[in-house]
Each structure stands twice: as structure tokens, then as C-alpha cells.
Chains A and B, each alone.
Chain A
């Protein structure tokens, strides 16, 4: 029975059909999705912190309003993705517990600190830029709810990248101090942004099934290359220099060649030893615990109004 199911399942995938929550799916497909989508959701939620750090110090009212709107979008994106994960039979409470106990990961990029206002530019431009490359590819993922969440997110995400690029281009056309800040920010965020695409395909534990099942639609290395090709030209345009001596145009492959990523640093941060790993999770846990009475009060209020004790 299960063998038949598996054949029908793969035929659907091969035909480009979407899998919906009530459809039969292999256990490993379900597990892979829960891991990947929840990791994505947690990244959106934890990603609010490095930017939230600068809301009170935004240089103008306009910059502040835009940043608040952007951070609110990240919260929304996290919620779309939690909803998609919940369709796979796991509760929101369980997902949050996995994040707080370290069982589930989030993108390591958010474990780097935001040291200057230029970092708001670099995050929007590079971090959201890298995320967009990944998310655009995921609009075609085989799991219906994930695909629909991605379509919604992509529509909203391009404002984020433009917002970041605008900050970078203003600063790199500003005073020498501002130019220096912009370049310093690019220097610090460039390599972590490349790491966002994950290990090389040859070293990635999850790539093969994910491609066969069309959960992922582009490999880590292909998507990373796409991001580099796009971004180099954008940096040139605003007079910033990508911090990679090996970066050069390859006329044969028609892509930019670039230097090797420091994988030791990548794994250190993944394994919890980045600058801000502890702070990020502590903040999340505290906010969640301190908000508990609000949820309890709201539930109690709902019960009372339903029973007619109030109103």
C-alpha cells in the first residue's frame, strides 16, 4: 500500500503538481518540510532583532517609519511560514519550543551584530537580497502551502531590498565617514550573506531528496552564484568594493568567479558560537515568557464572553 502511495506521490511531483496537506506524503518528506519551513519561519522572527536594534536610532523620521514597516513585514513572513508548517501536523507551541531549546535552527546571519546604521543598508541589500534569490526559487516548491507563502512573501520582500540599497547608496555618496561606514558594513556582511545559501552541494546533507521531491528548486551553489552575479554590478554602481580579491568575471562561464567561503566560521556560528546566538534566543524566550499572561488573559476573556459572563 505504502509502496503504491509512494509511486503515486512521486508521479505527482514529477508532473509538477502540488502536494496539499491532506494528500499522502512520505514521512521523510513531511519531516524535511517541517525542518526547512520552520527554520525559515524562525529566521524571519529572529531576523527582527538585529534591525529592531536600530529603530530608536534611525537618522530620520522617514527612515524610522520605513524600518518599522520592514520589521513588521518580517513578523508577518514568520507567521505565514508558521501557518504553513502547522499544516504538516505540528503545533505553533511545539515549533517555538524547538527554537528556544536549540532543536530547530535559524539562519546564522542573524547571529552577527548590527554595529552601525549602514548595517541596516547592508542587511536589506545583501541579506534580503540573498533571501529573495532563495525565496523566488521556492515559489515553485512542491508543497502547496509553502509555495503560497513564498509567493506572498516575494511580493513584499522587494521593498526590503530597495530600502537597504537606498541606504547604502546614500551613504556611499555621502561624507568620507559615511562612505567608510558603508564599505565597512559591506566588508562585514558580504561573506555571511554568501554563507546564507548553505554548504556546497557536494557537502549538503539535505540536497538530494529535496531536489527529487522538488522541495528545493535550485541547489545551494547555483543560487549563490545567481546572487553574486546580481550583486557585483549593484556594488559597482554605488562605488563600493566587494571584499574578495579572487572575485573576477569569467568570460567563459559568463559568471563571476569568487573566493572560498570560510566554512570553519560558518559551522562555528551554526553550532551556537556566533557573536549573538545566546542574546537572540534569550530575547525571544524572555519576550515569549513575559507575554504569557497576555495570552492567558485573552483566553480567559474569550471563555467568559462566550459563556455570557460578560456583556
Chain B
């Protein structure tokens, strides 16, 4: 008997109110309701979250590790984006 593949959904959990959602893993499910329920059973059996996002894996776009150097190159030479770049008198408070 040949079997159809169930779609895969990536699961993101917000650990507490106000926090950023974090990737937890994935689940197999046929639709979004089932994906949410499976994610709850699989990743929050011990109150690990206050909210769950699920998104079909095929809808996620990722940069590729081979291109890491060139892809992030624009951020490489801009030290002036960090506060330590600027020399300021120690007498100036609250900066």
C-alpha cells in the first residue's frame, strides 16, 4: 500500500507573554487545526508556552549556509553601528 506524505509544519512557541516566539521543532499534520493541536501535545506538555505559531515548512525561506560570508557581508565593516565607536567625555552622563 503506497502512503501519502503528511505535510510538515514548523512550530514556534512563545514561552511567556511578551517574549519572542522561538522555533521548537516540527509536526506532521493534514491541516492547520491539526497542526496546532499536535504542536500543543508535542511541545507544551509542561506549560512551555503561552502561544503557538505553526507554518508549513515549504513556506519558510532560508538563506544558505554556503553564502553566509557574502550574505552577511554588508554588516561586516560598520563599526559605527556600535555605541563604543563614539568617543564621548566621561563627564557627559546619561548617554
Contact flags (1/0) for B37-52 with A, using CB distance below 8 Å?
0000110011000000
Known contacts A22-B64, A23-B65, A292-B1: A302-B30 contact under CB 8 Å: yes
A296 vs B6: C-alpha distance in the bound complex, in angstroms? 9
Stretch at the interface among A53-61, A75-83, A180-188, A212-220: A75-83
Known contacts A91-B5, A305-B31: A79-B42 contact under CB 8 Å: yes
Contact of B65 among A20, A83, A299 (CB under 8 A): A20
Find residues 2-57 in chain B having any chain A CB closer than 8 Å to their own CB: 3-6, 8, 25-28, 30-31, 34, 41-42, 45-46
A76 vs B38: C-alpha distance in the bound complex, in angstroms? 10
Contact flags (1/0) for B62-81 with A, using CB distance below 8 Å?
10111000000000000000
Contact of B31 among A83, A152, A298 (CB under 8 A): A298
Contact of B6 among A23, A80, A295 (CB under 8 A): A295
Interface centre among A83, A149, A152, A292 (most CB of B within 10 A): A83
Find residues 55-100 in chain A having any chain B CB closer than 8 Å to their own CB: 69, 72-73, 76, 79-80, 83, 86, 91-93
The answer to whether A80 touches B25 (Cβ under 8 A) is yes
Closest to A289 in B: B1
Known contacts A86-B8, A298-B34, A299-B30: A93-B46 contact under CB 8 Å: no
For the complex formed, measure the closest distance between the CB of A142 and the CB atoms of chain B, giving whole angstroms. Answer: 15
Q: Using Cβ atoms and an 8 Å threshold, which residues of chain B touch A83?
A: 25-26
Q: Which of the four size classes fits the interface of chain B? A: 20 to 34
A301 vs B27: C-alpha distance in the bound complex, in angstroms? 18
Q: Using Cβ atoms and an 8 Å threshold, which residues of chain A touch B42?
A: 76, 79-80
Say yes or no: is A156 at the interface (Cβ < 8 Å to chain B): yes
A225 vs B25: C-alpha distance in the bound complex, in angstroms? 33
A156 vs B34: C-alpha distance in the bound complex, in angstroms? 24
A69 vs B30: C-alpha distance in the bound complex, in angstroms? 25
A306 vs B33: C-alpha distance in the bound complex, in angstroms? 13
A23 vs B25: C-alpha distance in the bound complex, in angstroms? 18
Q: Using Cβ atoms and an 8 Å threshold, which residues of chain B touch A91?
A: 5
Closest to A86 in B: B8
Known contacts A91-B5, A292-B3: A298-B45 contact under CB 8 Å: no
For the complex formed, measure the closest distance between the CB of B55 and the CB atoms of chain A, giving whole angstroms. Answer: 15
Q: Using Cβ atoms and an 8 Å threshold, which residues of chain B touch A79?
A: 27, 42
Residues of B within 8 A of A (CB): 1, 3-6, 8, 25-28, 30-31, 34, 41-42, 45-46, 62, 64-66
